[in-house]
Amino acid sequence: MTVTKGGSAPEGADGKGDMTGDDNYVLSERRLERERHKRARARRATAVASLSTLVTAVVLYLVVVNAPGWPRTKETFFSAQYAREALPKVLEGLWLNVRLLVICGAAVLVLGMVIAIARTLRGPVFFPLRVLAAAYTDFFRGLPLIINLMIVVLGVPALRLQGVTVDPVLLGGTALTLTYSAYVAEVFRAGIESVHPSQLAAARSLGLTNRQALRHVVLPQAVRRQVPPLLNDLVSLQKDTGLVSIGGAVDAVRAADIIVGRSLNYTPYIVAGLVFVALTIPMTRFTDWVTARMDRRRAQGGSL
């Protein structure tokens, strides 16, 4: 939806804009005094927060560093030498994770939507489809992802089917898509059900068929509402792409694994972990931003 920043938006940049209005209002002494007080209070709060953070950090550091096993742990988990060696390899592997995320993410959104719509279809013809969709979500939401991956990545090649891939990346991606589609289908379904029945009634009263009403009235509202939980699932998918390494695909985790196997030093795992965190943080922030924006719109009296 286009967010029209209408001329009469009373919300200043961040509430700090000078709210003087268009009359010839002059800031009163009372207001100036209050604002001075608020500023002083804000400065005090910042100072306390900084001090408290510092103390916490120092305490944590001392606890870790003075732990009896620290020197050895430091050697095996935080070796600068191995970190330098691992980083380029891990980043190289990460490219595979990113590609998996993009392709699986797109596939998951499509498949999830198809399953969600299948579950809302009315009419006797669609009975088997409805049952199938329900069974699918029940099964794949319950099946642990790691087991799903093993079955698909290790089981499918064992069948030795003609023309079916044995590529661990493709199979791993398939397994991820299977599991995540089930989750995303539920997210979409919740969105569809959250659209008030009066919207459907209004659409039907205009002569729209059930399908047209779904397509033009219900789904657009459902999807919009579900953007935050969808992004949440995408963040989750992003890190779970690391699990395709169990089939031998050389992603960031597997790249680290190889070095660990050779050196018996665990630093590459830490490197890979941090790289994943670094990748998910922007996405998490983006999710927060979208959610906050939507909350704000709702608070302004918008119904989305």
Binding site for other proteins (CB under 8 A): 1, 4, 6, 198-199, 201-209, 212, 216-217, 220-221, 224, 301-304
| Residue 130 or 204 having the CB closest to other proteins | 204
Closest approach, Cβ 15 to other proteins, in A, equals 21
The tokens of 85 are what?
């060696």
| Residue 217 or 260 having the CB closest to other proteins | 217
Closest approach, Cβ 6 to other proteins, in A, equals 7
| Residue 97 or 221 having the CB closest to other proteins | 221
Closest approach, Cβ 212 to other proteins, in A, equals 5
| Residue 52 or 209 having the CB closest to other proteins | 209
Task: Please name the residue that has the structure tokens 């604002």.
Answer: 35
- Which residues are CB-contacts of 145 (< 8 A; sequence separation ≥ 6)? 175, 176, 179, 240, 243
- Decide: 195 and 222 in contact? Cβ < 8 Å: yes
Closest approach, Cβ 304 to other proteins, in A, equals 6
Task: Please name the residue that has the structure tokens 């891939």.
Answer: 165
Nearest Cα to 217, choosing from 209, 67, 143?
Answer: 209
- Segment holding 134, helix H or strand E: helix 127-142
- Which residues are CB-contacts of 115 (< 8 A; sequence separation ≥ 6)? 133, 136, 137, 181, 182, 185, 188
Closest approach, Cβ 1 to other proteins, in A, equals 6
| Residue 81 or 300 having the CB closest to other proteins | 300
Task: Please name the residue that has the structure tokens 């589609």.
Answer: 181
